[in-house]
């Protein structure tokens, strides 16, 4: 692929290649091909608006409604093909052909002008005001927001065990579901650099205080944050 050789001429083996008009993800294909050839560890970032495919096009008839969908499928197929074509090459099993798809959106947070304590002082019922997260946001939405806020690369290793997300092993542990003392203790015992929870995960103020006590016991150096 000529494009791969063009990239090779102007990048190093660990560079990040960004294409702001990715189309069908030709650049991603070329980066993976080049990594397979020279054992490099280049990464790619593809940017593409969800432009609709022409309804008369073969791609649309095949089920691809946007150019983004075509690009994602090309990356999947190209990665599998490159590995198959190089299956006898030493170390090819370590070739990274994975990718994540992220979409721009508005903030996960509601526009909150008063704290729950303010509402209580004004005589309002607190029900419905204890969570400042928009109702249609998933735990994954919150996780990636936290990663961005903390400067953690969006390509970082993520795993999930039970209710908690583990980013780069124990560097960040985030739990946005309801938590009890056992869950909090288990997280604290892993001694994360960051531990992040959701405000509505705690049933009351005493539960939040309990978090502080547990972390002081098992991992006092962990930085705790609550959304």
Query: Higher confidence at residue 180 or residue 121?
Result: 180
Sequence-distant (≥ 6) Cβ neighbours of residue 126 within 8 angstroms: 116, 119, 120
pLDDT over 90 percentage in the chain? 66
**Phi, psi angles (nearest 5°) of residue 189:** -65, -20
pLDDT in tens, 106-122: 888 876 554 555 545 54
For residues 140-155, give the mean pLDDT: 94
Residue range 198-205: mean pLDDT, rounded = 79
Does position 168 have pLDDT exceeding 90, yes or no? yes
| pLDDT(79) > 60 | yes
Instruction: Break the chain into its structural domains and give their ranges.
Output: 2-94, 135-226
pTM: 0.76
The number of beta carbons lying within 10 Å of the beta carbon of residue 106 is 7
Pair of tokens at residue 9: 């001429």
- 165 with 158: CB under 8 angstroms? yes
- Write the CB contacts of 156 (distance below 8 Å, at least 6 apart in sequence): 147, 167, 168, 171
CA 155 to each of CA 53, 147, 220: distance values in angstroms, whole numbers, following the listed order:
28, 10, 28
Three-class HEC string of 116-137? HHHHHHCCCCCCCCCCCECCCC
The DSSP letter of residue 109 is B
């Amino acid at each position: 692929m000529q494009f791969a050789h063009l990239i090779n001429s102007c990048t190093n083996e660990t560079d990040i290649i960004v294409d702001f008009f990715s189309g069908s993800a030709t650049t991603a294909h070329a980066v993976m091909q080049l990594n397979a050839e020279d054992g490099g560890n280049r990464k790619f970032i593809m940017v593409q608006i969800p432009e609709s495919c022409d309804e008369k096009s073969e791609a649309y008839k095949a089920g691809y409604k946007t150019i983004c969908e075509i690009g994602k499928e090309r990356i999947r197929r190209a990665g599998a093909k490159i590995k198959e074509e190089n299956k006898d090459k030493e170390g090819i099993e370590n070739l990274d052909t994975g990718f994540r798809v992220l979409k721009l959106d508005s903030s996960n947070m509601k526009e909150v002008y008063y704290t729950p304590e303010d509402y209580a002082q004004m005589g309002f019922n607190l029900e419905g005001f204890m969570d400042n997260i928009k109702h249609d946001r998933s735990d994954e939405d919150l996780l990636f927001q936290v990663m961005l806020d903390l400067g953690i690369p969006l390509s970082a290793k993520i795993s999930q065990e039970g209710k908690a997300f583990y980013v780069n092993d124990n560097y960040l542990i985030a739990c946005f579901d309801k938590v009890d003392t056992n869950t909090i203790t288990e997280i604290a015992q892993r001694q994360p650099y960051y531990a992040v929870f959701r405000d509505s995960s705690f049933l009351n103020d005493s539960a939040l205080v309990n978090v502080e006590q547990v972390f002081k016991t098992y991992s006092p150096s962990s930085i705790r944050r609550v959304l």
